[in-house]
Structure 1
Amino acid sequence: MKNVLLLLTVLVCLVTKAVAGQPVLVKSNGGWCWFQGERAVVVGQQVIFTSISSGQRDGWNSGDLVVTSIDITSSAVHHHLLSGEFQSDDHDVAGLCVLPDNRILAVYGKHNSDAYQRSRLTLKPGDITRWTDESKFDVGAGYTYANVFSLSAEDHRIYNFHRGRGFNPNCTVSSDLGVSWSYGFRLLEWTREDIKDDPRYTGLDGSRPYLRYASRGVDTIHFFLSDDHPRAYDNSVYHGYYRNGKIYASDGTELATPGSDGRSDLKPHDFTEIFTGNADHVAWPCDICVDENERPRVVFSVQVGDAANRTLRSKGGADHRYYFGRWTGWRWDVYPIAHAGTKLYAGEDDYTGLAALDPQDDDRMVISTNADPVTGSPLISSADNQRHWELFEGNTSDGGKSWRWTAITANSTADNLRPIIPKWDSDHRVLLWAKGKLSSYTDYDLDIYAQIDKR
């Protein structure tokens, strides 16, 4: 506790610099995966995010699941321990949802080690220092990921999309602002039987699609998905959405009315295809945002040129690209936009530094790469002569066909990874990211940084 209080004092001094657009350390010993949402939200002048520690450092124990708030007005930073019983595993990080009264709902769970969806609620609006006791809900299968959204058109009914029954995307629902939960439905059904004779199946792992979700909080939840894990399948990526009890393709074609029996007739390829994958072009979702007209934008990674290594685990991943897609209202326009560099570590050959779309600026994003975004040349730091992942801001003026890249970080002595841009107001923007070394999803030495700017 002494170390934590000392850390808070240091951070209060530093956060004042963040308003001027300088990177500042806001949480030591923390990391996150990217298949949860929202990992960061803004409530008034509070930037609130969740992270989980790996190893014992700076007063935090391995597996400490923490919520952090940055008060832009007072420059105060607060941390609250949601749970100290978790694994050192970035898949365990929480999903956050802002309730109508500005209280925060946090939903989280262990990485497929039990069947419990866990949740807690703040007692006061925008105040992370006091929470309800943890509640548990048995989802009926191993639980992973939390993607939590409230829909005002459904009297603020809350949906939590997670990996659950069948190792597939399912949802739980709450009609009392997160106090109690019930099983909702299974979004799709993708099993070993579906892929066993498929020539796009590599034989490594398989039968679990990966999804990113986005919602404006009114009546629709969008999802952006791959067929499977990219080491298991030559992934394409797709889009669909949920609205008023039905599931739709991008163009509004009704696909299904899901039931509560835990079954689904939908497969990944039943949704609207955004990008067609093959053995030399294997896709994986990074991020999705939705504009005021409910038109989605996506960014995804593509591992290129590795057909010869598709059945050889840990041998691929030397070259990735970022692609951007935009739904025009009648079609998907998709463009290759940047070099994404190499894999983060062997065994997860499709792990990149990731990319984040700006939810309030259709023409802006931030990417993490260890290659020059335009040329693909390795980024060798002049500070330590090592190759590192750096952050770049991208801007487009032609709908995403071409992008201008500007370095946010350069010549670093550590990697800058997994950026997040939470939705704020029209005057401000905040960028959060993890800096350090990621050796695996259970072994990482990372700190969370923030950069806050006026638009």
Structure 2
Amino acid sequence: MAKRRVTRRDVLRLGLGAAALPAAARLQGCSSHALTWRYGSGEDLVVGRGGWCWFQSPRAAIAADGRLYVGSSVGTSPATSSGAAQVSEIDLDHLRVASHRTLGRASVDDHTAPSVLAVDDGVQVGWTPHNGTDWVELGTYRGPLHRVVDPDSLVDPGVGTSYVSAHVVAGRRWVLYRGKDLFMELMSSSDGRSWVQHGVTIQKAPSSLDHRPYLLAASDGQRLHLVVSDGNPSDFPGCSVSYATIDPDLNVCDDAGRPVGQVGTAPPNPTQLTRLR
């Protein structure tokens, strides 16, 4: 029987027991057991390894009040907060955690780490539980959350929503999330309350079989920059990585600024982007 490679997902779901395997030393960095962060004296914040994924961004932001806000999934720990999708407010002047807010609770799962976006004079937060739901919850750190529903996220092969990431592009709030066909979709808003859904950003290549693209995104204020993998690097090691941008009119462009597709109506696949590796 061929040896099965242990993935990040195995460790998150099985906890420390999954580390009792030949790959244990390599997997320690992905253990779902909690890390304790200490600021000054005393225990302030507990976050499990696997509290974030590399393609989630941003998960921390300094707001207009000068405080740092961090969104994370809480890993397995003696604390009752295990599985919480939590945002923490950190007072940088005194190096202490000023408050926490739990947006919701699910299994220990890095898919649920909340997005955090410093915008205007507040902090927008968002999350989804990754348990077969068809919604994303968005709101402010100190205010109510509102659900944006996407029924297409549950149409096979979709399994619901996950991986919420928020940005500001050309004065509008953009939110990426995994939805239809397990691809990253985009919605936008001018005020954080009323949202317009635009559809799939990048689709998989026709010949990619079970591969699907994973996106890491960052805004320069006028465009959204993307690093796109051909597949999940944990499941398909050695997959290629490409680069693209999305401009305010939803054109997807290569590194030279040439349009190669359109969000929603004609999403490109990774082979049409600028190949980095």
Query: Normalising to structure 1: TM-score of the pair?
Result: 0.47
Give a deviation string over 1:381-431, Cα, whole Å, max 9, x none. xxxxxxxxxxxxxxxxxxxxxxxxxxxxxxxxxxxxxxxxxxxxxxxxxxx
Out of 237, 242, 249, the position equivalent to 2:246 is 242
Paired position in structure 2 for 1:149: 167
Per-residue deviation, 1:267:
1.0
2:226 maps to 1:223: yes
Among residues 156, 162, 177, which one is paired with 1:162 in the alignment? 177
The answer on whether the counterparts of 1:158 and 1:173 sit within 8 Å (CA) in structure 2 is yes
**2: CA distance, partners of 1:98 / 1:149:** 9
Measure, in 2, the Cα distance between the counterparts of 1:33 and 1:265: 24
TM-align CA RMSD: 2.4
Q: Please tell me whether residue 113 in structure 1 is matched to residue 132 in structure 2.
A: yes
Taking the aligned partners of 1:265 and 1:161, their CA distance within structure 2 comes to: 14
State the match for 1:179 in structure 2: 193
Could you tell me how far 1:138 is from its partner in structure 2? 1.1
Tell me how far apart the structure 1 counterparts of residues 183 and 212 of structure 2 sit (CA, whole Å): 6
Instruction: Select which of 120, 134, 139 maps to 2:145.
Output: 134
Among residues 274, 277, 291, which one is paired with 2:276 in the alignment? 274
Residue-by-residue CA offset, 1:342-379 (whole Å, 9 max, x unaligned): xxxxxxxxxxxxxxxxxxxxxxxxxxxxxxxxxxxxxx
Q: List runs of 5+ in structure 1 lacking aligned partners.
A: 1-10, 18-23, 123-130, 197-205, 276-455
> Hey, what's the Cα distance between the residues in 2 that align with 1:143 and 1:180?
19
- Provide TM-score, normalisation by structure 2: 0.75
SS in 1 for 2:39: helix
Matched, 1:195 2:220: no
CA distance in 2, matches of 1:219, 1:212: 17
SS at match of 1:91: helix
Q: Does 1:87 align with 2:107?
A: yes
Deviation, structure 1 residue 247: 1.3
Aligned partner of 1:70: which letter? I
Larger Rg: 1
Relative contact order higher in (CA < 8 Å, ≥ 6 apart): 1
2:70 aligned partner:
49
Shift of 1:56: 4.9
Q: Which residue of structure 2 aligns with residue 318 of structure 1?
A: none
The one-letter amino acid of 1:219's match is Q
* Structure 2: distance between partners of 1:62 and 1:265: 37
The answer as to 2:109 corresponding to 1:104 is no
Q: How many residues end up aligned between the 2 structures?
A: 230
Q: Is the 1:36–1:94 Cα contact (8 Å) retained in structure 2? A: no
- Code of the aligned partner of 1:220: R
- 3-state SS of paired residue (1:97): strand
SS in structure 1 at match of 2:111: helix
1:26: how far off?
4.2
Counterpart position of 1:411: none
